[in-house]
């Protein structure tokens, strides 16, 4: 019998550890209505005086903060740093028909010890993520993990940086201001991103630019981007059942930019007569991603 684990535990809003059954996961001894989870802090978790901690169990809790110091002693927060990310996203959804949803997101976030994520590395024919298929013709995971964020208090040190007025423009897109909106993904209260919903078919081959006049957190900048030609998917996918017991699926397309990568995400949906209710892509075991040049 393999090792059993308790609910996943997240530190600093990234990665996760799991409380082993050999530890303690359950009601805390000597208390009424108080749960206790014993978990080892991963070595990769940053040190600090207010490191966010969350627990998932059919959902995920709002963050509580703990002090972490390797070797013990007074906690010390690392220097706060920022990382900016601009995403032009064109989403094509195929069910019984094809729909398109274009957005621009300019995220300028800062926190203690924040670092830019590593660059994605793609390889032709790479295997699926660990745990997606167990080699027996089925999925290695049959549960449904839903992330539900409740009311949250601001976590010290986590801030959204202001860049003043942010403007977008490009091929077929007249200059327009990108509004500042509350952060839609994540449990930290008070954060925000610059985000705009674009008219259908805005993101296409051509030149696009995001510029800012500068603010209290970020100085003036201009970020140009050249978007390559659209791809045309040749494999019929509308309304098709592409999940066939973890068997390989080949998607053919024409066009595109040879320097770019195409990412396809397949959302697994359990039929209602088998206890399912809706499509869900929140967990890594319920999505399949294929990349290709």
Q: What is the Cα gyration radius of the chain?
A: 22
Phi, psi (deg, nearest 5) at residue 169: -160, 160
Other Cβ atoms less than 10 A from the Cβ of 63: the count is 26
Integer Cα distance of 283 and 71 in angstroms: 34
Q: Dihedral of CA 208/214/218/219: which sign? A: positive
Integer Cα distance of 54 and 19 in angstroms: 12
Tokens in use for 142? Answer: 């049959």
This prediction has a pTM of 0.74
Q: Do residues 36 and 7 lie in contact, with contact meaning Cβ atoms separated by under 8 Å?
A: no
Q: Do residues 229 and 239 lie in contact, with contact meaning Cβ atoms separated by under 8 Å?
A: no
The DSSP code for 119 is P
Integer Cα distance of 230 and 205 in angstroms: 7
pLDDT at 25: 78
Tokens in use for 11? Answer: 């530190």
pLDDT at 126: 55
Domain boundaries, the chain: 5-78, 81-113+132-292
pLDDT at 19: 55
DSSP H or E stretch at residue 6: strand 5-11
pLDDT at 2: 46
Pairing of strands 231-233, 180-182: unpaired
Other Cβ atoms less than 10 A from the Cβ of 123: the count is 7
Beta strands in 79-127 (DSSP E): 80-94, 98-112
pLDDT at 161: 94
Tokens in use for 222? Answer: 């201009």
Q: Do residues 278 and 268 lie in contact, with contact meaning Cβ atoms separated by under 8 Å?
A: no
Integer Cα distance of 292 and 88 in angstroms: 19
Q: Do residues 104 and 195 lie in contact, with contact meaning Cβ atoms separated by under 8 Å?
A: yes
pLDDT tens for each residue of the chain, 293 residues long: 444 566 778 888 876 665 554 456 788 889 998 888 888 888 888 999 999 988 876 677 888 899 999 988 999 999 999 989 999 998 887 766 778 899 999 999 999 988 787 776 666 655 555 555 544 444 333 344 455 566 678 888 999 999 999 999 999 899 999 999 998 767 788 899 999 999 998 998 999 999 999 998 999 999 999 988 888 888 887 666 666 666 667 788 888 777 777 777 766 655 555 444 443 333 332 233 333 43
Q: What angle do CA 38, 40, 44 make, to 5 degrees?
A: 150
pLDDT at 108: 95
Tokens in use for 9? Answer: 């535990």
DSSP H or E stretch at residue 223: strand 221-227
pLDDT at 86: 95
- The residue among 236, 232, 239, 230 whose CA lies nearest residue 249 is 236
pLDDT at 208: 97
Q: Do residues 77 and 50 lie in contact, with contact meaning Cβ atoms separated by under 8 Å?
A: yes
Phi, psi (deg, nearest 5) at residue 185: -120, 115
């Amino acid at each position: 019998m393999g090792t059993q684990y308790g609910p996943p535990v997240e530190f600093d809003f990234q990665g996760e550890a799991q409380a082993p059954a050999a530890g303690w996961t359950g009601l805390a001894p000597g208390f009424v209505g108080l749960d206790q989870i014993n978990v080892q802090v991963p070595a990769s978790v940053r040190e600090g005086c207010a490191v966010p901690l969350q627990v998932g169990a059919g959902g995920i809790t709002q963050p509580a903060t703990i002090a972490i110091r390797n070797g013990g002693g007074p906690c010390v927060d690392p220097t706060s740093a920022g990382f900016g990310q601009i995403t032009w996203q064109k989403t094509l959804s195929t069910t019984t028909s094809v729909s398109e949803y274009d957005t621009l997101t300019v995220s300028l976030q800062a926190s203690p010890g924040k670092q830019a994520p590593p660059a994605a590395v793609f390889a032709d024919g790479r295997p699926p993520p660990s745990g997606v298929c167990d080699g027996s013709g089925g999925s290695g995971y049959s549960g449904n993990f839903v992330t539900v964020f409740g009311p949250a208090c601001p976590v010290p040190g986590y801030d959204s940086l202001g860049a003043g007025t942010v403007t977008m423009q490009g091929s077929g897109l007249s200059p327009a201001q990108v509004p500042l909106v509350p952060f839609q993904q994540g449990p930290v209260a008070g954060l925000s991103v610059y985000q705009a919903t674009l008219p259908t078919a805005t993101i296409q081959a051509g030149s696009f630019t995001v510029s800012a006049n500068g603010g209290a957190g970020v100085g003036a900048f201009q970020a140009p981007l050249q978007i390559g030609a659209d791809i045309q998917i040749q494999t019929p996918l509308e309304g098709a059942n592409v999940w066939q017991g973890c068997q390989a699926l080949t998607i053919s397309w024409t066009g595109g930019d040879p320097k770019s990568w195409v990412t396809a995400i397949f959302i697994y949906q359990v039929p209602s007569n088998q206890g399912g209710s809706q499509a869900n892509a929140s967990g890594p075991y319920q999505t399949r991603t294929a990349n290709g040049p």
